[in-house]
Chains A and B, each alone.
Chain A
Amino acid sequence: DVKVTQSSRYLVKRTGEKVFLECVQDMDHENMFWYRQDPGLGLRLIYFSYDVKMKEKGDIPEGYSVSREKKERFSLILESASTNQTSMYLCASSDIRNQPQHFGDGTRLSIL
């Protein structure tokens, strides 16, 4: 079974802090994704990566950056956290681009 592990289930930070969310997958998948999910808005793609050191902007990249130094790890960075970034963050990975994505448990992030 694919295992996608996110570093924290719950996280509380303050506005202006730099926040790191880590995601690791154990299936040697090429593709990794970061989403946020908010009530009524569904899943929104923040950034994705199809290879090591490669990243592409999703639909809502503003205020975020990512890092993929190793194939199994994809990090999401909130450069200067703001209250409107309070959300559920979900990491996913897939083997082939048009195949199902496997999700981590999610990180519920609160920015105070």
Chain B
Amino acid sequence: RKEVEQDPGPFNVPEGATVAFNCTYSNSASQSFFWYRQDCRKEPKLLMSVYSSGNEDGRFTAQLNRASQYISLLIRDSKLSDSATYLCVVHKGSRDDKIIFGKGTRLHILP
């Protein structure tokens, strides 16, 4: 099993719809989780951290399911500007561990 796995997509979603995608991770000791957004030919940018209790930032909700070892990102009332690739990032949490990036899920919002 890969350390971090994401459905590559693309997810083609009409504007205004709700879309959700998951990211699974293999190491149960993982402690820190993030979602990044990457626009075409640009650098990845932090979208939000994922907390154990789940967290919300406007139209975006991130959740962590430790039992099944996945994190999720839900986007409500999607906008054309949400079109991007969303990268899942996982860190085991001990001092010597590297952060692991997923390969990303491509999202296209259709007008």
Chain A contacts to B: CB under 8 angstroms? 40-43, 45, 48, 58, 88, 90, 97-106, 108
- How many A-B residue pairs have C-beta atoms within 8 angstroms? Tell me: 44
**Is B49 touching A98 in the complex (CB atoms < 8 A)?**
no
**Is A106 touching B42 in the complex (CB atoms < 8 A)?**
yes
- Against A, the Cβ 8 Å flags (1 = close, 0 = not) of B78-111 are 0000000001010111010111011110000000
Given A102-B46, A108-B41, 19 more A-B residue pairs with CB atoms under 8 Å apart are A40-B103, A42-B103, A42-B104, A43-B44, A43-B101, A58-B98, A90-B43, A97-B95, A97-B99, A98-B31, A98-B91, A98-B92, A98-B93, A98-B99, A99-B32, A100-B34, A100-B49, A104-B43, A105-B43
Question: In the bound complex, how far is the Cα of B44 from the Cα of A42, in angstroms?
Answer: 11
Chain B contacts to A: CB under 8 angstroms? 31-32, 34, 36, 41-46, 49, 87, 89, 91-93, 95, 97-99, 101-104
Residues on B with beta carbons closer than 8 Å to the beta carbon of A99: 32
Closest to B99 in A: A101
Q: Mind listing 10 A-B residue pairs with CB under 8 Å?
A: A90-B43, A98-B31, A98-B32, A98-B92, A100-B34, A100-B49, A102-B46, A103-B44, A105-B42, A106-B42
Question: In the bound complex, how far is the Cα of B101 from the Cα of A94, in angstroms?
Answer: 15
Task: For residue A30, give the distance in angstroms from its CB to the closest CB of chain B.
Answer: 12
Residues on B with beta carbons closer than 8 Å to the beta carbon of A98: 31-32, 91-93, 97, 99
Residues on A with beta carbons closer than 8 Å to the beta carbon of B99: 97-98, 101
Residues on A with beta carbons closer than 8 Å to the beta carbon of B91: 97-98
